[in-house]
Structure 1
Amino acid sequence: MEAGDLTADHRQHTSSGTWVQTTAVQHHTEQTSVRNLTVEDLHTYYLQAAAPRSSPTTKTRPSAP
């Protein structure tokens, strides 16, 4: 899945074997230094879960093409 295709209500499989549901998606642009890994046509991106006491939000950070 491309990071830009992620939508609210999408389910993600976690590294511990459980499933979590995306409740919101925010897109933003910023200038920063990053190290991206590309294997053939597969680009990495990151998901961040909200703190347990805050409203449940998942954020994505797409890699540069």
Structure 2
Amino acid sequence: MATQDTTGKKFMRETDARILIDRRLREADWDIENKNQVSTEETSQNGRADYILKDSRGRAIAVIEAKRFA
């Protein structure tokens, strides 16, 4: 997952971050396959979100952005 650049710094791609986010959401009992609980890659008038977590009424309660990091 993490790789090193020429300076020896470790960094992670956004796709690797998504794998970790998916794992953590599952551990927290979110059903990431259920679009009523978790929407991914959703676009709205406010922009694009990588993940939107929803309550039992389908209302957005959290937004998660997956970013690569160093």
Q: TM-score, length-normalised on structure 1?
A: 0.31
User: Higher Cα Rg: structure 1 or 2?
Assistant: 2
Higher helix proportion (structure 1 or 2): 2
